[in-house]
Structure 1
Amino acid sequence: MNNVALVGRLTKDPELKYLPGSGIAVTTFTIAIDRDYKKKDGTKETDFIPIEVMGKTAEYCANYIAKGDLVALQGSIRVNNYQTQEGEKKVFTKVNTNSIKRLAASNKEVEKEYKFEPEAVDVFDDELPF
Protein backbone atom coordinates (compact mmCIF):
# COMPACT_ATOMS: atom_id res chain seq x y z
CA MET A 1 0.00 0.00 0.00
CA ASN A 2 1.38 3.41 -0.97
CA ASN A 3 -0.68 6.14 0.70
CA VAL A 4 0.46 9.38 2.32
CA ALA A 5 -1.38 12.26 4.02
CA LEU A 6 0.48 15.51 4.67
CA VAL A 7 -0.23 18.93 6.14
CA GLY A 8 2.19 21.76 5.37
CA ARG A 9 2.68 25.26 4.00
CA LEU A 10 3.52 26.10 0.39
CA THR A 11 7.02 27.52 0.00
CA LYS A 12 6.12 29.34 -3.24
CA ASP A 13 3.19 29.75 -5.62
CA PRO A 14 2.25 26.59 -7.59
CA GLU A 15 3.57 26.29 -11.15
CA LEU A 16 0.97 25.20 -13.73
CA LYS A 17 2.04 23.54 -16.98
CA TYR A 18 0.27 21.43 -19.59
CA LEU A 19 1.67 18.15 -20.93
CA PRO A 20 2.52 18.40 -24.64
CA GLY A 21 0.21 16.34 -26.81
CA SER A 22 -2.40 15.48 -24.20
CA GLY A 23 -2.86 18.96 -22.72
CA ILE A 24 -3.28 17.55 -19.21
CA ALA A 25 -2.71 20.16 -16.51
CA VAL A 26 0.20 19.50 -14.11
CA THR A 27 0.96 21.69 -11.12
CA THR A 28 4.07 21.39 -8.98
CA PHE A 29 4.96 23.02 -5.68
CA THR A 30 6.78 22.28 -2.44
CA ILE A 31 5.36 22.17 1.06
CA ALA A 32 7.32 22.73 4.26
CA ILE A 33 6.60 20.49 7.25
CA ASP A 34 8.26 20.92 10.64
CA ARG A 35 9.46 17.74 12.31
CA ASP A 36 7.83 16.72 15.62
CA TYR A 37 10.93 17.18 17.76
CA LYS A 38 13.25 20.02 18.71
CA LYS A 39 17.02 19.90 18.59
CA LYS A 40 19.11 20.60 21.69
CA ASP A 41 19.28 24.28 20.75
CA GLY A 42 15.44 24.48 20.67
CA THR A 43 15.05 24.73 16.90
CA LYS A 44 13.02 22.42 14.71
CA GLU A 45 14.13 20.87 11.45
CA THR A 46 11.89 21.31 8.43
CA ASP A 47 11.32 18.89 5.57
CA PHE A 48 10.58 20.28 2.11
CA ILE A 49 8.35 17.85 0.20
CA PRO A 50 7.92 18.14 -3.61
CA ILE A 51 4.27 17.80 -4.69
CA GLU A 52 2.78 17.04 -8.12
CA VAL A 53 -0.91 17.42 -8.96
CA MET A 54 -2.57 16.51 -12.27
CA GLY A 55 -5.84 17.22 -14.05
CA LYS A 56 -8.58 19.48 -12.70
CA THR A 57 -7.04 19.38 -9.24
CA ALA A 58 -3.89 20.94 -10.75
CA GLU A 59 -5.96 23.81 -12.12
CA TYR A 60 -7.63 24.23 -8.71
CA CYS A 61 -4.19 24.50 -7.08
CA ALA A 62 -3.01 27.10 -9.59
CA ASN A 63 -6.14 29.22 -9.00
CA TYR A 64 -6.86 28.85 -5.28
CA ILE A 65 -3.69 28.18 -3.31
CA ALA A 66 -0.58 30.32 -2.95
CA LYS A 67 2.72 30.67 -1.13
CA GLY A 68 2.21 30.45 2.64
CA ASP A 69 -1.17 28.67 2.48
CA LEU A 70 -1.61 25.71 4.82
CA VAL A 71 -2.85 22.67 2.88
CA ALA A 72 -3.79 19.08 3.65
CA LEU A 73 -3.26 16.57 0.88
CA GLN A 74 -3.54 12.87 0.20
CA GLY A 75 -1.63 10.93 -2.40
CA SER A 76 1.15 8.43 -3.00
CA ILE A 77 4.93 8.58 -3.03
CA ARG A 78 6.60 8.26 -6.43
CA VAL A 79 10.28 7.59 -6.98
CA ASN A 80 11.62 8.53 -10.42
CA ASN A 81 15.03 7.57 -11.78
CA TYR A 82 16.81 9.36 -14.58
CA GLN A 83 20.28 9.71 -16.06
CA THR A 84 22.05 13.01 -16.69
CA GLN A 85 23.82 13.80 -19.95
CA GLU A 86 27.08 12.99 -18.17
CA GLY A 87 25.76 9.48 -17.39
CA GLU A 88 25.17 10.09 -13.68
CA LYS A 89 22.10 8.31 -12.25
CA LYS A 90 19.72 10.47 -10.21
CA VAL A 91 16.73 9.62 -8.04
CA PHE A 92 13.86 12.06 -7.40
CA THR A 93 11.05 11.47 -4.90
CA LYS A 94 7.73 13.36 -4.96
CA VAL A 95 4.16 13.03 -3.76
CA ASN A 96 1.60 12.42 -6.51
CA THR A 97 -1.52 14.03 -5.04
CA ASN A 98 -5.10 12.75 -5.39
CA SER A 99 -6.90 15.32 -3.23
CA ILE A 100 -6.02 18.61 -1.59
CA LYS A 101 -7.74 21.07 0.72
CA ARG A 102 -6.60 24.52 1.73
CA LEU A 103 -6.84 24.76 5.52
CA ALA A 104 -5.66 28.33 6.05
CA ALA A 105 -5.01 31.07 3.55
CA SER A 106 -2.08 33.41 3.57
CA ASN A 107 -3.69 36.03 1.33
CA LYS A 108 -6.72 34.61 -0.50
CA GLU A 109 -10.25 34.54 0.88
CA VAL A 110 -11.84 31.69 -1.07
CA GLU A 111 -11.79 28.32 0.69
CA LYS A 112 -12.53 25.44 -1.62
CA GLU A 113 -11.77 21.78 -1.78
CA TYR A 114 -11.28 19.63 -4.84
CA LYS A 115 -11.12 15.87 -4.75
CA PHE A 116 -11.09 13.33 -7.53
CA GLU A 117 -14.53 11.75 -7.59
CA PRO A 118 -15.81 8.82 -9.58
CA GLU A 119 -18.36 9.66 -12.25
CA ALA A 120 -21.70 10.57 -10.69
CA VAL A 121 -24.28 7.82 -10.59
CA ASP A 122 -27.98 8.42 -9.95
CA VAL A 123 -28.91 6.11 -7.08
CA PHE A 124 -32.48 7.37 -6.67
CA ASP A 125 -34.90 4.48 -6.90
CA ASP A 126 -38.67 4.74 -6.22
CA GLU A 127 -38.68 1.20 -4.88
CA LEU A 128 -36.29 1.90 -2.00
CA PRO A 129 -38.09 1.89 1.42
CA PHE A 130 -36.34 5.05 2.65
Structure 2
Amino acid sequence: MRRIRVGGAWAAQIALAAFFGFVGFMKMTAPMADLARHHAWVAGLAPPVARVVGASEMLCAALLLLPGLLPGRDRWIGGAAVALIANQCVAILFHALRGDLGGAIGQNLLLIALLGLVAAVRLRN
Protein backbone atom coordinates (compact mmCIF):
# COMPACT_ATOMS: atom_id res chain seq x y z
CA MET A 1 0.00 0.00 0.00
CA ARG A 2 2.87 2.37 0.79
CA ARG A 3 4.31 1.85 -2.70
CA ILE A 4 0.99 2.83 -4.25
CA ARG A 5 0.79 5.99 -2.11
CA VAL A 6 4.37 7.00 -2.89
CA GLY A 7 3.93 6.18 -6.59
CA GLY A 8 0.75 8.25 -6.72
CA ALA A 9 2.51 11.09 -4.92
CA TRP A 10 5.35 10.99 -7.46
CA ALA A 11 2.90 11.07 -10.37
CA ALA A 12 1.14 14.06 -8.81
CA GLN A 13 4.46 15.78 -8.04
CA ILE A 14 5.65 15.48 -11.63
CA ALA A 15 2.38 16.85 -13.03
CA LEU A 16 2.23 19.64 -10.44
CA ALA A 17 5.88 20.60 -10.96
CA ALA A 18 5.30 20.85 -14.71
CA PHE A 19 2.18 22.96 -14.19
CA PHE A 20 3.62 25.33 -11.59
CA GLY A 21 6.93 25.56 -13.43
CA PHE A 22 5.07 26.69 -16.56
CA VAL A 23 2.65 29.13 -14.90
CA GLY A 24 5.41 30.47 -12.64
CA PHE A 25 7.62 31.13 -15.66
CA MET A 26 4.74 32.90 -17.41
CA LYS A 27 4.02 35.07 -14.36
CA MET A 28 7.70 36.01 -14.21
CA THR A 29 8.16 36.82 -17.89
CA ALA A 30 4.86 37.52 -19.68
CA PRO A 31 3.56 41.08 -20.08
CA MET A 32 0.84 41.88 -17.55
CA ALA A 33 -1.66 42.37 -20.40
CA ASP A 34 -1.11 38.76 -21.48
CA LEU A 35 -1.63 37.55 -17.93
CA ALA A 36 -4.89 39.50 -17.73
CA ARG A 37 -6.05 38.06 -21.04
CA HIS A 38 -5.49 34.53 -19.68
CA HIS A 39 -7.25 35.35 -16.38
CA ALA A 40 -4.14 34.88 -14.26
CA TRP A 41 -5.07 35.89 -10.75
CA VAL A 42 -1.89 37.99 -10.42
CA ALA A 43 -3.00 40.31 -13.23
CA GLY A 44 -4.56 42.63 -10.64
CA LEU A 45 -1.35 42.93 -8.64
CA ALA A 46 1.56 45.30 -9.09
CA PRO A 47 3.96 43.80 -11.66
CA PRO A 48 6.82 43.28 -9.17
CA VAL A 49 4.47 41.35 -6.85
CA ALA A 50 3.25 39.20 -9.75
CA ARG A 51 6.87 38.45 -10.66
CA VAL A 52 7.63 37.38 -7.08
CA VAL A 53 4.58 35.09 -7.10
CA GLY A 54 5.86 33.56 -10.33
CA ALA A 55 9.32 33.05 -8.86
CA SER A 56 7.86 31.41 -5.75
CA GLU A 57 5.80 29.05 -7.92
CA MET A 58 8.91 28.08 -9.88
CA LEU A 59 10.85 27.49 -6.66
CA CYS A 60 8.07 25.32 -5.24
CA ALA A 61 7.89 23.40 -8.54
CA ALA A 62 11.59 22.60 -8.18
CA LEU A 63 11.10 21.63 -4.53
CA LEU A 64 8.34 19.19 -5.52
CA LEU A 65 10.92 17.18 -7.46
CA LEU A 66 14.53 17.85 -6.50
CA PRO A 67 14.46 16.82 -2.82
CA GLY A 68 12.85 13.53 -3.84
CA LEU A 69 16.09 12.56 -5.48
CA LEU A 70 17.80 12.61 -2.08
CA PRO A 71 16.80 10.27 0.75
CA GLY A 72 15.09 11.79 3.78
CA ARG A 73 13.91 15.00 2.11
CA ASP A 74 10.16 14.33 2.17
CA ARG A 75 9.52 17.31 4.45
CA TRP A 76 10.87 19.71 1.81
CA ILE A 77 8.43 18.27 -0.71
CA GLY A 78 5.57 18.42 1.79
CA GLY A 79 6.46 22.00 2.65
CA ALA A 80 6.45 23.01 -1.01
CA ALA A 81 3.03 21.38 -1.42
CA VAL A 82 1.67 23.26 1.61
CA ALA A 83 3.07 26.56 0.27
CA LEU A 84 1.35 25.94 -3.07
CA ILE A 85 -1.92 25.11 -1.29
CA ALA A 86 -1.70 28.56 0.34
CA ASN A 87 -0.95 30.03 -3.10
CA GLN A 88 -4.10 28.44 -4.51
CA CYS A 89 -6.24 29.61 -1.58
CA VAL A 90 -5.10 33.18 -2.27
CA ALA A 91 -5.84 32.64 -5.97
CA ILE A 92 -9.40 31.55 -5.12
CA LEU A 93 -9.84 34.65 -2.96
CA PHE A 94 -8.62 36.92 -5.78
CA HIS A 95 -10.89 35.20 -8.32
CA ALA A 96 -13.86 35.55 -5.95
CA LEU A 97 -13.17 39.23 -5.26
CA ARG A 98 -13.09 39.90 -9.00
CA GLY A 99 -16.27 37.90 -9.62
CA ASP A 100 -14.34 35.44 -11.76
CA LEU A 101 -15.73 32.22 -10.32
CA GLY A 102 -16.08 30.33 -13.60
CA GLY A 103 -13.62 27.60 -14.49
CA ALA A 104 -10.79 28.99 -12.39
CA ILE A 105 -12.19 27.76 -9.08
CA GLY A 106 -12.50 24.18 -10.34
CA GLN A 107 -8.87 24.25 -11.44
CA ASN A 108 -7.77 25.70 -8.10
CA LEU A 109 -9.69 23.04 -6.17
CA LEU A 110 -8.20 20.24 -8.29
CA LEU A 111 -4.71 21.61 -7.67
CA ILE A 112 -5.42 21.85 -3.92
CA ALA A 113 -6.60 18.23 -3.87
CA LEU A 114 -3.47 16.99 -5.67
CA LEU A 115 -1.21 19.13 -3.49
CA GLY A 116 -3.01 17.81 -0.41
CA LEU A 117 -2.28 14.25 -1.53
CA VAL A 118 1.40 15.07 -1.96
CA ALA A 119 1.58 16.86 1.40
CA ALA A 120 -0.19 14.03 3.22
CA VAL A 121 2.08 11.35 1.79
CA ARG A 122 5.33 13.28 2.13
CA LEU A 123 4.74 14.74 5.59
CA ARG A 124 3.62 11.36 6.93
CA ASN A 125 7.02 9.79 6.25
Same fold (TM over 0.5): no
Length-normalised TM-score, structure 1: 0.27
Between structures 1 and 2, the one with greater helix share = 2
The structure having more radius of gyration, on CA atoms, is: 1
Between structures 1 and 2, the one with greater strand share = 1
